[in-house]
Structure 1
Amino acid sequence: MSIFQTVIIAIIEGLTEFLPISSTGHMIIASSFLGIQKDDFTKLFEIAIQLGAILSVLVFYRKKFFPLNRWNFYFKLIIAVIPALLLGYLFSDKIDKLLESPLTVSITMLLGGFVLLFIDKLFKTPAAVDTEEKISIAKAFTIGIWQCLAMIPGTSRSAASIIGGMQQKLTRSLAAEFSFFLAVPTMAAATGYKLLKAFKQQPELLKNKENLLALGLGNLIAFFVALLAIKFFIGFLQKHGFRLFGWYRIVVGTVLLVLVLAGYLQ
Structure 2
Amino acid sequence: MDFFQAVIIAIIEGLTEYLPVSSTAHMIFASSYYGIQEDDYVKLFQVSIQFGAILAVVALYWKKFFDFTRVNFFLKLFLAVIPALILGYLFDDLIESALGNPIPIAIVLIVGGVILLFIENFFKNQPIKKEEDISNKKAIAIGFWQCIAMMPGTSRSAASIIGGMQQGLTREAAAEFSFFLAVPTMAAATLYSVFLKTYDHTGLKGYELLTQSSDTLTMFFVGNIVAFIVAVIAIKGFIGFIKKYGFKPWGWYRIIAGSLLLAYFLTYN
Give the TM-score taking structure 2 as reference length: 0.95
Which residue in the other structure is 2:228 paired with?
Answer: 223
The code of the aligned residue for 1:68 comes to F
User: SS of 1:79's equivalent?
Assistant: helix
- The alpha-carbon deviation at position 199 of structure 1 amounts to 7.5
Cα distance, 1:68 vs structure 2: 2.1
SS of residue paired to 2:126: coil
- The residue that corresponds to 1:213 in the other structure is 218
Question: In the alignment, is the contact (CA less than 8 A) between 1:87 and 1:148 conserved in 2?
Answer: yes
Residues in 2 aligned to 1:8 and 1:260: alpha-carbon distance in whole angstroms: 20
Q: How does 1:95-244 map to 2 (within 5 A)?
A: 95-124=95-124, 126-197=125-196, 201-203=203-205, 204-207=208-211, 208-244=213-249
How big is the shift at 1:96?
A: 0.7
Cα-to-partner distance string for 1:191-227 (whole Å, 9 max, x where unaligned): 0000013589515412221110110000000000000
Paired residue secondary structure (2:128): coil
Query: Which whole-Å CA distance do the structure 2 matches of 1:218 and 1:173 have between them?
Result: 29
Give the Cα separation in 2 of the matches to 1:198 and 1:220.
Answer: 23
Q: Gaps (5+ residues) in structure 2?
A: none
Aligned residues: 263
SS in 2 for 1:21: coil
Q: Which residue of 1 aligns with 2:27?
A: 27
Q: CA deviation at 1:257?
A: 1.4
Q: Do the aligned partners of 2:210 and 2:220 also contact (CA within 8 Å) in 1?
A: no
Contact kept in structure 1, 2:160 and 2:174, CA below 8 Å: yes
Unaligned regions of 5+ residues in structure 1, if any? none
Q: Where does residue 78 of structure 2 map in the other structure?
A: 78
Distance verdict in 2 for CA 1:199–1:107, change over 3 Å = closer
Deviation at 1:260, TM superposition (A): 2.2
1:219-252 Cα shifts (integer Å, max 9, x gaps): 0000000000000000001110001100010011
| Residue pair 1:198, 1:205 contacting (<8 A) in 2 also | no
Structure 2 SS opposite 1:11: helix
Displacement of 1:110:
0.5
What SS does structure 2 have at the residue aligned with 1:176?
A: helix
**1:255 alignment counterpart:** 260
Could you say what secondary structure the match of 2:89 adopts?
A: helix
Contact 2:172–2:243 (CA<8 Å) still a contact in 1?
Answer: yes
Q: CA deviation at 1:147?
A: 0.2
- Give the aligned CA root-mean-square deviation in angstroms: 1.2
Distance 2:178 2:264 in 1: 32
- What is the deviation of 1:16? 0.2
1:246 is aligned to: 251
Amino acid at match of 1:240: Y
Q: Is the 8 A contact 1:18 1:180 kept in 2?
A: yes
Matched, 1:65 2:65: yes
Q: CA deviation at 1:94?
A: 0.3
Q: TM-score, normalised by structure 1?
A: 0.96
Distance 1:205 1:198, change over 3 A: farther
